[in-house]
Structure 1
Amino acid sequence: MKLPPLKALPVFEAVARLNSFSRAAVELNVSQSAVSHQIHQLEAYLGETLFQRQGRRLSLTNEGREYQEAVSSALFQLECASEQLQGRVDTRVRIAMYSSIAVRWLIPRLPTLQRQHPQLDLALEMMNESPQLSDRVADCFITLQNEHRGFTADLLYCERMFVIASRSFWQSMCADWQQAGLIDSNEPQQIDPAWLLRYPLLSTYSIYDIHTEDWRRWFAQADLTLPESTRVQHFSHMLMALEAARHHQGLALTNDYMHNVDDDPDLVRIPCHSLVTGDRFYFAFKTSRRQEAGIRLLRQWVRQQAVASGLLEVDEWVAQR
């Protein structure tokens, strides 16, 4: 078996992670020249330059990034294997996900997780963009990615968008429709989507990265065109649009993990159609780590919560078991 200089691998991992020779030296409790020597030795063995040095700026080369992924994962696996032989079961788990699903869906359910699995030590990382699937980032992920080499991805949710408003805004809409002779009851079971065009729309840019695209697609599903004269208030994130709706400023589009009628009685789901966006959310983890206690506990719990909260159908959950 031909192995690289093993003493250099933890040094390379520290420099790559910290993006600094000096910070790596402090963490490893060695001199900066010793760090530099180990990196030069490793580069000489590999025949590749791992870091680009431009003045004080340090960055990984393409080869360095590929090597970092492999080395970080291998060192982590060695650590886990050693802890298991020592009889130490590590239930520390880092999970990375989008900020919206973290704040609106996962965090409110953490007391349940703590009661059911008090031994689980969970650390949350919130991402604005789709997180890179890598041990360096987290141990598991809630992500839109379902195909990544070496990873298993369990389906949690197929996104659908529906219309909400504050309760008082909804009641004033119903009063308008009654006065116009469009409805007989105070709260109709179904309404014509065209009736919503007379009210302010709260649009979230980040859903499709195009202004008003969320509402355009929602109305298009009902064979309606969004007039240019429609009153639209723009927001970068759905969290802000929801708060504006809560404060009676208009109609917002949201999804199941952002709003649950049982948990949020101040907001009303308008009885109209839903728009399936095509986004599918997955719980992902490295397949080689599927037997680790912390990941197994969190995987089972997250999937159970997805079913209990209505994100995942029971038959879909059973099919993945």
Structure 2
Amino acid sequence: MSALPLNALRVFVTAARHASFKDAAGELCVTPGAVSRQVQGLEAHLGVPLFERRHRAIELTQLGQLFLAQVAPALAAIEQAGERVRGLARGSVRVDATPTFALHWLIPRLAEFRAEHPQIEVRLGTSQGPIVKSGAVDLHIRRDPAHFAGLAGEPFMREHAALVCSPRFPGRSGWRTPADLLAVPLVRMRSRPDLWPKWFAAAGLGEAPAAEFIEFDNTILAIQAAVEGLGVALVPRLFVDGLLLGGALVEVPLAAPFASGAYYLIGEGEPGEAARVFAGWLRRRAADA
């Protein structure tokens, strides 16, 4: 007997999964007639019926069920092997991250990845809010599970928020208690309304004491406002480590940084080899941070 036709096997598995030639045709971007002909050709090759045809419906025969149980895992393994080979040949990983994470954490470390893996190109894009599933991205990086678009996320780094300000900020040497901050401008981000209420509550000041806020759209602007001396900011510490080290910001020692979330890796499907390598590096680098 000649070898089984791989394209007909793929069509058969798709039709069995949908229990419909029409729906399988929609997924495969062909006509229902083309699906039917592929299945008929496979049945002729095997010499057994795989489906029972009914009015506007199909159902696997007993032999069809047995064949599907054997073929589907094997076909999936072939497709995964192809993805890995394509990933190695392509030598690139497509990453979508939030702008703040990309600017303040990922980009400063990408030179390390390039030095360790010069054969892999990182194609970095940024977006905010819910993930838009397009198949054009290997790995998404998000903080808010509400933005995962139904995909599974794996946490790879914890986030802690800290108080920071410019070393030139007037009067900071006189701060003794958390309540002293209520007398100075506080920098707040519309994108992270949760941070100040959590800090106030942890400091024993209630969730919303009277305070003077200067509000900005996002963390990038809030950090720059703190650098310019506009007020005290409460921001994820992982985004300001370099600025603290360089002296552009100082940490306000009125409270220890508190846990404020986590960052997740989210893939749209089975990752290629380049994406696996990048994800492994990201986990190790986050553990060292």
Question: Could you say whether these structures have the same fold, taking a TM-score greater than 0.5 normalized by the shorter chain as the test?
Answer: yes
| Partner of residue 251, structure 1 | 232
| Partner of residue 305, structure 1 | 285
| Partner of residue 62, structure 2 | none
Q: Tell me the amino acid that sits aligned with residue 199 of structure 2.
A: W
Q: Tell me the amino acid that sits aligned with residue 155 of structure 2.
A: L
- TM-score, length-scaled by structure 2: 0.66
Q: Tell me the amino acid that sits aligned with residue 142 of structure 1.
A: I
| Partner of residue 63, structure 2 | none
Q: Which has the larger Rg?
A: 2
Q: Tell me if structure 2 keeps the 8 A contact 1:203–1:252.
A: yes
Assess, with a 3 A threshold, how the Cα gap between structure 1 residues 130 and 137 changes in structure 2: closer, same or farther.
farther
CA distance in structure 1 between the partners assigned to 2:205 and 2:233 by the alignment = 17
**Two-structure CA RMSD over aligned residues (Å):** 3.7
Give the alignment of 1:75-114 within 5 angstroms.
78=79, 81=82, 84=85, 89-114=89-114
| Partner of residue 259, structure 2 | 276
Q: Tell me if structure 2 keeps the 8 A contact 1:141–1:285.
A: yes
Q: Tell me if structure 1 keeps the 8 A contact 2:95–2:124.
A: yes
Identity %: 22
Q: Tell me the amino acid that sits aligned with residue 221 of structure 1.
A: A
SS of equivalent residue, structure 2 residue 129: coil
Post-superposition Cα deviations, 1:5-27, rounded to whole Å, max 9, x if no partner, equal 999867x4xxxxxxxxxxxxxxx
1:205 aligns with 2:187: no
CA distance in structure 1 between the partners assigned to 2:282 and 2:87 by the alignment = 26
Q: Tell me if structure 2 keeps the 8 A contact 1:200–1:249.
A: yes
SS of equivalent residue, structure 1 residue 109: helix
Report the alpha carbon displacement of residue 232 of structure 1 after superposing the two structures with TM: 1.1
Give the alignment of 1:180-259 within 5 angstroms.
191-208=176-193, 214-225=195-206, 226-228=208-210, 230-259=211-240
| Partner of residue 140, structure 1 | 139
Assess, with a 3 A threshold, how the Cα gap between structure 1 residues 155 and 264 changes in structure 2: closer, same or farther.
farther
| Partner of residue 50, structure 1 | none
Give the alignment of 1:156-167 within 5 angstroms.
156-167=156-167
Assess, with a 3 A threshold, how the Cα gap between structure 1 residues 280 and 83 changes in structure 2: closer, same or farther.
closer
Assess, with a 3 A threshold, how the Cα gap between structure 1 residues 304 and 219 changes in structure 2: closer, same or farther.
same
CA distance in structure 2 between the partners assigned to 1:200 and 1:87 by the alignment = 50
Q: Tell me the amino acid that sits aligned with residue 216 of structure 1.
A: P
Post-superposition Cα deviations, 1:74-131, rounded to whole Å, max 9, x if no partner, equal 99x85971783x9963321111121110111101111111111111111112111132
Q: Tell me the amino acid that sits aligned with residue 81 of structure 1.
A: G
Report the alpha carbon displacement of residue 264 of structure 1 after superposing the two structures with TM: 3.9
CA distance in structure 2 between the partners assigned to 1:138 and 1:82 by the alignment = 14
- TM-score, length-scaled by structure 1: 0.60
Greater mean alpha carbon deviation, residues 152-161 or residues 245-254: 152-161
Q: Tell me if structure 1 keeps the 8 A contact 2:130–2:148.
A: no
Q: Tell me if structure 2 keeps the 8 A contact 1:83–1:90.
A: no
Aligned length: 228
Assess, with a 3 A threshold, how the Cα gap between structure 1 residues 250 and 257 changes in structure 2: closer, same or farther.
same
